[in-house]
Amino acid sequence: MDRERRLSEKAREEIRRLQGLYPQARSALLPALFVAQGEEGYLSEEALEEVAELFDLPLSEVASVASFYTLFHRRPVGRHVIHFCTNLSCMLNGAEEILAHLCRRLGIQPGETTRDGLFTVKKAECLAACDIAPMMLVDEEVYGNLTPQKVDEILGKYREEGSG
Ligand code: FES
């Protein structure tokens, strides 16, 4: 193989290790895609091809899994990815208004990344935290009972970290 690899040897080893944990290697596809995503922050076409090779699966199958789950990114994203839930419980608790506030503060629309590369905002389906609706995930951190003020505080915290 003479094309440039996207997955490091360490990532390939980790994927092989994951495959060994299941009776059927294919069951490790989701965690393997997270490993691949950890390499560049998103899943490029080339990275998907390499995962498909490791699993001996057609690229189309791996690509459709990667596109189905909102936690996988098919394009480069900001340093922090905000998944904002827009499903029923969150909607009924004012998610639309708060998402609009968040986007206004960041100067972007859902699906976009801020110019400084710090944040990407994505709309998400129910993230299983309806009891604290409206809610969002920033990377893996859950924030609930959101208000415009709370959103401002959260953004401030990440901005501070980014400049520190
Ligand atoms: S509807 Fe938003 S977390 Fe369930």
The domain limits of the chain are 9-68, 80-163
pLDDT at 2 over 80: no
Give per-residue pLDDT as tens, 132-160. 999 999 998 999 999 999 999 999 999 99
This prediction's pTM: 0.82
For the purposes of burial, counting CB atoms within 10 Å of the CB of 4, is it exposed (0-12), middle (13-18) or buried (19 or more)? exposed
With CA atoms as reference, report the closest residue to 137 among 80, 76, 70, 84: 84
- The CB of 92 under 6 Å from ligand 1? The reply is no
Residue 3 confidence (pLDDT) above 80: no
The CA-atom distances, in angstroms, between 85 and each of 24, 103, 118, 126, 149 are 33, 14, 20, 6, 18
Assess whether pLDDT exceeds 90 at residue 1. no
CATH 2.40.50.140 holds for 80-163: no
Tokens, residue 24 = 């059927």
For residue 123, the CA-to-ligand 1 centroid distance in Å is 11
Task: Report how far ligand 1's centroid is from the alpha carbon of 115 (Å).
Answer: 29
Distance CA 32, CA 54 (A): 10
Q: Which atom belonging to ligand 1 lies closest to the Cα atom of 89?
A: 1
Whose tokens are 């996988």? That residue is 72
Region 10-24 average pLDDT = 96
**Any atom of ligand 1 within 6 Å of the Cβ of 21:** no
For ligand 1, say whether the CB of 136 is within 6 Å of any of its atoms.
no
Q: Point out which residues pair with 83 in neighbouring strands.
A: 122, 137
Q: Is 133 in the pocket of ligand 1 (CB under 6 A)?
A: yes
